[in-house]
Structure 1
Amino acid sequence: MNRPPVITHLTGSGQIGTVTLDWKPVSWATVVDHYAVYVLTSGSWKLLGKTVYPHFVHRGLGFTGVTRSYRVVTVDAAGNRSTPSAAVDATNLTSVIVSGISVARVGEFDGKGSELALSPAGYASYPTRFPSDVDYTFGTSTPSSDWSYLLPGPADKWAGSKNHRATFRFDLAAVPEQDLDLALWLIDSHASLAGSAVLTVNGTQVERLTFANGATKGSTIADSTYPGSPLKPSYLERPLPRALFRTGQNVIELFKDNGSWIAYDAFGIYARR
């Protein structure tokens, strides 16, 4: 039996809830049927999945960092298998909702958007329900009536084909001693036009947040956690320098001036322990 080439340059990088694996593809001289990806579980190598690309994302890993070992096998068109690649270790990131202390939030960080306004399928009512967009004050506003489950973008005709803004207000008794962290979790987003939004804190532009494309199902489905859910959750967490904040009311804005909608799981600010 002629074994296909062994995979080389396997690397792994951890994100929130996922690990991304990449490797050097074998040469075109080998007709590859697929690459088989394995993870070490309880002392044995378990088949995690198959892919025709030199890239694989291990999803659903939870929100506390765990180090796992991975390796990849080349399988050619005749069914011949390579020797396994050298193993690589990768650790998914620990979310700030686990490591930090909640300062202010809207939503439950539970993979569902059902507690938010207009959910699960009332997006067409956004222009009349939120004619001046979302303006939410933590401690006073109510998620089910004051925070839309979708933030539309200029690509959305149903929302007026224009830019939209979500404003989140919360109070601080004092300027924080350490940087704070933003947690922006999505249950889904548009499949090809998730786009981006400008993040502003107290009038200072911090950065442009780019959203992962989803499945375009979250406009009508509110739960990403049940078996077989078609939704594609994603997670954005960013440090926010303490110098941006002030005693009293603070204002965070998401200005959606690019692409289509995103569907929230939850939005929050966390302090470090």
Structure 2
Amino acid sequence: MSPRPDTITGLHAEPALARTQVSWEPLGFDPLIDHFRVYAVRGESAPGTPRESDLIAKTVYPTFAHTNLDPAGETWTYTVLAVSDAGRRGRPSVPLTGSSLPSVTATGREIARIGDFDGRTLEHHLAPSSYAKIPAEFPGAVIEYEQGADEPGTAWPYLLPGPGDAWAGKKPYRARWTLTLDDAPQADLDLAVWLVDTTRLGGILRVSANDEHVTDIELPVGSTRGSREGDATVPGSTLRRSFHEHALPASLLQAGVNVLELELAEGGWAAWDAVGVFARE
């Protein structure tokens, strides 16, 4: 009879925004492993024997990304076991508790935002599918948005094109967001950039504040469906949301008018969910 797979060891949980990356030590080739079964239970404990109702994934790799978690943060307890090519199951691993990182949209105080942090592009200009009008409306590849004067539905197109988009002239579009602060910040603020989808080209979103470079956000490979579909929360949606949050140094900001610029310097378009600036509480 084929031997039983070894018990999974080295279970590890790496926290991220709205996701937890679970990994473990790979097994050898005797027996051959058909797949791993990943079980998860909300909270900090799990039953001694995994319940099939708690199975959240089967994978052939010694890693699994638990995605689409609440951006406010979630805690789950994971158990993994291996199944051989003969269908024999190994004993379950020791359970491991892991938590995703909380978003600044949940922990911070809102200073300004464009759009709603809800997994949809629908409140933005030209959404969900009229992207072809963007080059004509913004021939200079610059989008200007003034906080308090403009609205997402009329002034902030749902896509920011990039140099990989032939339909938009292969230009690095820039979104310039002007906001006024009553006082100069005494501590760093946080910038939240949530996307509903990106293209298979990925890309680099370059962020600056008052003409000073802040960070380059590496955009993940997306499904390239967000140019035509505007709601990633629909059951079965193939849109690939991503969440990016970075510090805005207080030294780059001032009392009065400030300009944040988001330039899609490389790759294809990004579909906005929302962007916001938050003070740390």
TM-score bucket of the superposed structures, by smaller chain: over 0.9
Letter of the structure 2 residue corresponding to residue 183 of structure 1: A
CA distance in 2, matches of 1:209, 1:73: 36
Please name the residue that 2:90 is paired with.
82
Letter of the structure 2 residue corresponding to residue 4 of structure 1: P
Alignment of 1:230-245 (within 5 A): 230-245=238-253
CA RMSD of the aligned region, Å?
Answer: 1.4
After superposition, the C-alpha distances for 1:37-81 in whole angstroms (9 at most, x for unaligned) are 011347534211111112211122212223221121111111111
**Match among 171, 174, 185 for residue 176 of structure 1:** 185
Please name the residue that 2:78 is paired with.
70
Alignment of 1:214-225 (within 5 A): 214-225=222-233
Letter of the structure 2 residue corresponding to residue 9 of structure 1: G
Alignment of 1:28-47 (within 5 A): 28-41=29-42, 43-44=46-47, 45=50, 46-47=54-55
**Match among 188, 193, 207 for residue 197 of structure 2:** 188
Structure with a larger share of its residues in strand = 1
Letter of the structure 1 residue corresponding to residue 29 of structure 2: W
1:260 aligned onto 2:261 = no
CA distance in 2, matches of 1:56, 1:70: 11
1:105 aligned onto 2:106 = no
CA distance in 2, matches of 1:27, 1:202: 54
**Match among 133, 141, 151 for residue 125 of structure 1:** 133
CA distance in 2, matches of 1:202, 1:112: 29
Deviation (angstroms), 1:8: 2.2
After superposition, the C-alpha distances for 1:97-136 in whole angstroms (9 at most, x for unaligned) are 1111111110010111101011101111111011122111
1:204 aligned onto 2:215 = no
Letter of the structure 1 residue corresponding to residue 34 of structure 2: D
CA distance in 1, matches of 2:252, 2:64: 37
Please name the residue that 1:115 is paired with.
123
Tell me the secondary structure at the aligned position of residue 177 of structure 1: coil
1:138 aligned onto 2:147 = yes
Please name the residue that 1:8 is paired with.
9
After superposition, the C-alpha distances for 1:152-202 in whole angstroms (9 at most, x for unaligned) are 111100010121111111000111122100010011111x21211211111
Assess if the C-alpha contact under 8 Å between 2:160 and 2:264 holds in 1.
yes
**Match among 149, 163, 166 for residue 172 of structure 2:** 163
Letter of the structure 2 residue corresponding to residue 211 of structure 1: L
Assess if the C-alpha contact under 8 Å between 2:4 and 2:31 holds in 1.
no
After superposition, the C-alpha distances for 1:189-244 in whole angstroms (9 at most, x for unaligned) are 11x21211211111111121101222111110000112111211110011112111
Tell me the secondary structure at the aligned position of residue 148 of structure 1: coil
TM-score w.r.t. the length of structure 1 is 0.95
**Match among 69, 74, 94 for residue 102 of structure 2:** 94
1:154 aligned onto 2:163 = yes
Letter of the structure 2 residue corresponding to residue 207 of structure 1: T
Aligned residues: 272
After superposition, the C-alpha distances for 1:233-267 in whole angstroms (9 at most, x for unaligned) are 11001111211110111111111111111101001
Tell me the secondary structure at the aligned position of residue 9 of structure 1: coil
CA distance in 1, matches of 2:31, 2:205: 43
TM-score w.r.t. the length of structure 2 is 0.93
CA distance in 2, matches of 1:78, 1:32: 9
Please name the residue that 2:66 is paired with.
58
Stretches of structure 2 that go unaligned for 5 or more consecutive residues are none
CA distance in 2, matches of 1:215, 1:29: 37
